[in-house]
Chain A
Amino acid sequence: MSEPTSPLAGAKYEGFAGVVAMGLQGMISLRGDLGAEALGKAVKAVTGVDVPAPRRIAMKGETGAAWMSPDELLLLVPYADVATALERLHEMLAGTHFLAVDVSDARAMFSVDGQGVREIVAKLMPVDMRRQAFGEGDFRRTRMAQIPAALWMPQPDRVQIICFRSVAEYAFNLLKGAAAPGGEVGHLS
């Protein structure tokens, strides 16, 4: 059997910020009643965090949950733990109206590190990237040029971006272009 691999496995680019195509990341799309007690408990059991508030992400170490829509979360777990996590979810949510699907291999994830990451995002997405408008713990679904994308800032000067795997190369090229030396704008710091 072939080994699973992330798209662009580990591709890197050094501009005025560093762009990295990250490795395999376990992702589970969970739909259901986000206010339900059973769902809250299941999310906690699998990720260690409470159901995040709208437009927020909660992380605890390598696991976490991101708010995708009023009835959808994206659960992040290590790639190797997805099967166990799914099993747990199905056990704990049995009998309730929900959907839990492994989407790990349908997504790509990038990190952008360095000064000016806010600018790189602002060049590509219609998102207010001023510090007071978007900070740590915020999670935003939007478009990156012509493709859907989601982003958050796990720490200052670092952005993580998730998009569909099929457009990983397009996303990487966009980020490369936006991070190219000489492209600093200096408006957002």
Chain B
Amino acid sequence: MLILTCPCCGVTAEETEFHAGGEAHLKRFGPGSSEDEFHDYLFARENPKGVHFERWRHANGCGKWFLAARDTVTLEVYGTYPAQTHEPPQDIKDRISARHPGWTWREFA
């Protein structure tokens, strides 16, 4: 079972109290971008076996969006952090590195 702690209200609950919102840290390509960039922005998603970064919403709770770093295999959660964050916080990256030395995910490592 996936257990998440919402960084907005502090509640720790299993995943049915939340709603998954897809991949985190997407960079928007809109007007002025190339077709390839726009295509990738719309459709190209990471689908890793292991470290992953996602958006979640505390749907049956405080209602806020947040980001989560977790392992898609073990369901270990490396940390949750505010939606207004452009890059995973260092302490979360360190926790991932302890488990998966040399990990990468898009431009993060």
Given contacts A141-B60, A148-B60, contact A70 B17 (CB under 8 A): no
A45, chain B: closest CB distance, angstroms: 25
Give per-residue flags for B1-45: 1 if the beta carbon is below 8 A from chain A beta carbons, else 0.
000000011110110110000000000000000000000000000
A142 and B9 within 8 A (CB): no
A126 and B17 within 8 A (CB): yes
A140: CB under 8 A from chain B?
yes
B13 and A126 within 8 A (CB): yes
Given contacts A69-B63, A69-B64, A143-B60, contact A54 B13 (CB under 8 A): no
B50: CB under 8 A from chain A?
no
B5, chain A: closest CB distance, angstroms: 12
A68 and B60 within 8 A (CB): no
Query: Which of A70, A72, A142 touches B60 (beta carbons < 8 Å)?
Result: A142
A142 and B61 within 8 A (CB): yes
B9 and A127 within 8 A (CB): no
- Taken together as a complex, chains A and B put the C-alpha atoms of A93 and B62 apart, in Å, by 23
Given contacts A54-B10, A55-B9, A55-B10, contact A70 B16 (CB under 8 A): no
A70 and B11 within 8 A (CB): no
Chain B: interface secondary structure?
A: loop
Which residue of B is nearest A140, CB measured? B11
Given contacts A55-B9, A126-B13, A142-B17, contact A69 B62 (CB under 8 A): yes
- Taken together as a complex, chains A and B put the C-alpha atoms of A18 and B9 apart, in Å, by 31
Query: Which of A54, A126, A148 touches B9 (beta carbons < 8 Å)?
Result: A54
Q: Which of A65-90 contact B (CB under 8 A)?
A: 68-70, 72
Query: Which of B13, B14, B59, B64 touches A70 (beta carbons < 8 Å)?
Result: B64
Query: Which of A126, A127, A141, A143 touches B62 (beta carbons < 8 Å)?
Result: A141
Give per-residue flags for B64-98: 1 if the beta carbon is below 8 A from chain A beta carbons, else 0.
10000000000000000000000000000000000
A70 and B9 within 8 A (CB): yes
Query: Which of A70, A126, A140 touches B8 (beta carbons < 8 Å)?
Result: A70
B64 and A126 within 8 A (CB): no
Using Cβ atoms and an 8 Å threshold, which residues of chain B touch A72?
62
Using Cβ atoms and an 8 Å threshold, which residues of chain A touch B61?
69, 141-142
**Residues of A participating in the B interface, judged by any CB pair closer than 8 Å:** 54-55, 68-70, 72, 126-127, 140-143, 148
**Residues of B participating in the A interface, judged by any CB pair closer than 8 Å:** 8-11, 13-14, 16-17, 59-64
Top 7 nearest A-B pairs by Cβ distance? A69-B62, A143-B60, A141-B61, A126-B14, A148-B60, A126-B13, A126-B17
